[in-house]
Amino acid sequence: MKKIRKDFLWGGAIAANQAEGAYNKDGRGLSTADIQPLIPGADPVDLHFNDLDSSTYEKYRRGAYFYPKRQGVHFYDRYQEYIDVLADMHVKTLRLSISWSRIFPNGDDAEPNEAGLAFYDRLFEYMKSKNIEPIVTIFHYEMPLNLVDKYGGWANRELIDLFVTYGQTVLNRYQDIVKYWILINQINLVHKESFASLGILTDQAHHYEQEKFQAVHHQFVASAKITEFAHKLNPTLQTGMMLADTLTAPYSCDPADVKLNFQRNRMQYFYSDVLLRGEYPEYALTYFEDHNIHLEITESEKVLLRNNTADFLAISYYWSNTVKASENTMDPNSIVKNPHLKANQWGWSINASGLYLCMSKYWDRYRVPMMVAENGIGFKDVLTSDHKVHDNYRIEYHQQHIAALLEAIHEGADIFAYCTWAPFDIISAGTAEMSKRYGFIYVDYDDEGNGSGKFHYKESFYWYRHVIDSNGQELDRTGE
């Protein structure tokens, strides 16, 4: 029986492109996230910013839209206020990302942008002064737009060196203040977040599926190179690979459902098998061959991958789904809703035991330290006239998920952090709405970016503070 670590890192997670804003300040270059428009009246479940072709890309890029991520929630200008409220919630960690185009505005600049680097100096120093440990992601759904225009995104091998230069620059600069580094956000979500993850335009690829996997291979190689660099630079640095948990359950005990489910899940382990075990597994090589996917993988890259596996596994967990052989294919987007589960208004199902299951499965498979990099659910909160948010639904969600996490720890999983997505309200990654709120702290901006920007503590704020203060032992205590 394992106990939760005494120094367990309770906290939250955000991403630069959803929070910082200041998209053209202090030398920052335009990024892929800056051209994601808010589409009023769009189906909230539809991710319109996925699988972009050139004409949609041009339309978004040059159209007269409102682009919420350009202003985010003004974290760049107001970071001290945000860190202050997080400190008031007693968080031990904040997972956040660095904006690539703040450091290398075009991605291929000869020198980094000093003003961008200086911003993160100030931010990390301020976090340190409040005893908040940074966990830093260096690629979270944004890349300099120039890398799409000039190189065609991650499908181009040149991206490896450009990303490594960026990675080395930030590791060098912040090595004394940042210990935990997540290199690529949700590296396995290439089928759901293809443009945000890879920056490839569908009609520019000869064989889209092949180019996606080639692009992922470039991300693997870049990750291994940065891990090699980090370990030489400073042995205390830890690099993490990150998965969005997408493990499914068979819809029924029909052997055909069970088999498809097994094969689907194995292709989701593919990403962590490469980065944690250090080699391309047989089943993946067979899958590529069967699907006419031919990857360029050199011998020296194989050695590099083998010798530079990641130190920890970061998982984001939101929902779970099922697969049915009569309806679904190997495409990870092809799923059947689990009829036993309720869902939020964006169709994201709620299943706390799925968190227990996935953390236990990953632990059994890899035996490396793990963290929950994201867990949460979006709701349309109502701010009452006396500035309260009665969000028992959020408390209930996290209560159940933390209980599931503790169960996985109890049975042996080595988990060192739990980060809720997101501790304060920020712009949604998928729909670019502000009204899809995840926070314990209400941030008064609306979908069009209007509002006072004031913070209001939701009921869940006090609840989470008790959880943190009791190191996860008090899950029922509400109120101040």
Residue 299 Cβ vs ligand BG6, minimum distance, rounded to whole Å: 34
Pattern of binders to ligand BG6 over 330-369, x per CB under 6 A? ----------------------------------------
Instruction: For 370, list phi and psi in degrees, rounded to 5.
Output: -130, 160
**CB nearer to ligand BG6: pick between 244 and 415:** 244
Does residue 436 touch ligand BG6 according to CB under 6 A?
Answer: yes
Among 11, 152, 378, 449, binds ligand BG6 (CB under 6 A): 378
The C-alpha atoms of residue 476 and residue 480 are separated, in whole angstroms, by: 13
**CB nearer to ligand BG6: pick between 146 and 185:** 185
- HSE-CB for 215 with a 13 A CA cutoff: 28
Does residue 429 touch ligand BG6 according to CB under 6 A?
Answer: yes
Residue 242 Cβ vs ligand BG6, minimum distance, rounded to whole Å: 9
Residue 307 Cβ vs ligand BG6, minimum distance, rounded to whole Å: 29
Pattern of binders to ligand BG6 over 28-67, x per CB under 6 A? ----------------------------------------
Residue 182 Cβ vs ligand BG6, minimum distance, rounded to whole Å: 10
The C-alpha atoms of residue 432 and residue 66 are separated, in whole angstroms, by: 10
- Of 25-33, 144-152, 430-438, 459-467, the segment contacting ligand BG6 by CB under 6 A is 430-438
- Of 102-110, 287-295, 424-432, 441-449, the segment contacting ligand BG6 by CB under 6 A is 424-432
Task: Give the residues across from 457 on adjacent strands.
Answer: 441
| CA distance readout (Å), 439 to 33, 255, 306, 459 | 21, 41, 39, 11
**CB nearer to ligand BG6: pick between 15 and 91:** 15
Residue 428 Cβ vs ligand BG6, minimum distance, rounded to whole Å: 4
Residue 445 Cβ vs ligand BG6, minimum distance, rounded to whole Å: 15
Task: Give the residues across from 284 on adjacent strands.
Answer: none
Does residue 374 touch ligand BG6 according to CB under 6 A?
Answer: yes
163 contact partners, CB below 8 Å, separation of at least 6: 139, 219, 222, 226
Number of residues that bind ligand BG6 (CB under 6 A): 15
CA 380 to mean position of chain CA atoms: 21
**CB nearer to ligand BG6: pick between 257 and 433:** 433
Residue 379 Cβ vs ligand BG6, minimum distance, rounded to whole Å: 11
Residue 137 Cβ vs ligand BG6, minimum distance, rounded to whole Å: 9
Residue nearest to ligand BG6 (CB): 430
**CB nearer to ligand BG6: pick between 328 and 431:** 431
Among 156, 219, 309, 428, binds ligand BG6 (CB under 6 A): 428
Among 12, 29, 116, 430, binds ligand BG6 (CB under 6 A): 430
**CB nearer to ligand BG6: pick between 216 and 305:** 216
**Contact yes or no for 91/468 (Cβ under 8 A):** yes
305-334 residues near ligand BG6, rule: CB under 6 A: 316
Does residue 186 touch ligand BG6 according to CB under 6 A?
Answer: yes
Pattern of binders to ligand BG6 over 228-267, x per CB under 6 A? ----------------x-----------------------
Does residue 69 touch ligand BG6 according to CB under 6 A?
Answer: no
- SS3 string, the chain, reads CCCCCCCCEEEEECCHHHHCCCCCCCCCCCEHHHHCCCCCCCCCCCCCCCCCCHHHHHHHHHCCCCCHHHCCCCHHHHHHHHHHHHHHCCCCEEEEECCHHHHCCCCCCCCCCHHHHHHHHHHHHHHHHCCCEEEEECCCCCCEHHHHHHHCHHHCCHHHHHHHHHHHHHHHHHCCCCCEEECCCCCCCCCCCHHHHHCCCHHHCCCHHHHHHHHHHHHHHHHHHHHHHHHHHCCCCEEEEEEECCCCEECCCCHHHHHHHHHHHHHHHHHHHHHHHCCCCHHHHHHHHHCCCCCCCCHHHHHHHHHCCCCEEEEEECCCCEECCCCCCCCCCCCECCCCCCECCCCCECCHHHHHHHHHHHHHHHCCCEEEEEECCCECCCCCCCCCCCCHHHHHHHHHHHHHHHHHHHCCCCEEEEEEECCECCCCCCCCCCCCECCCEEECCCCCCCCCCCEEECHHHHHHHHHHHCCCCCCCCCCC
Does residue 135 touch ligand BG6 according to CB under 6 A?
Answer: no
- Of 105-113, 252-260, 388-396, 421-429, the segment contacting ligand BG6 by CB under 6 A is 421-429
Residue 13 Cβ vs ligand BG6, minimum distance, rounded to whole Å: 8
Among 60, 421, 424, 442, binds ligand BG6 (CB under 6 A): 421
Does residue 138 touch ligand BG6 according to CB under 6 A?
Answer: no
Residues that bind ligand BG6 (CB under 6 A): 15, 18, 141, 185-186, 244, 316, 374, 378, 421, 428-431, 436
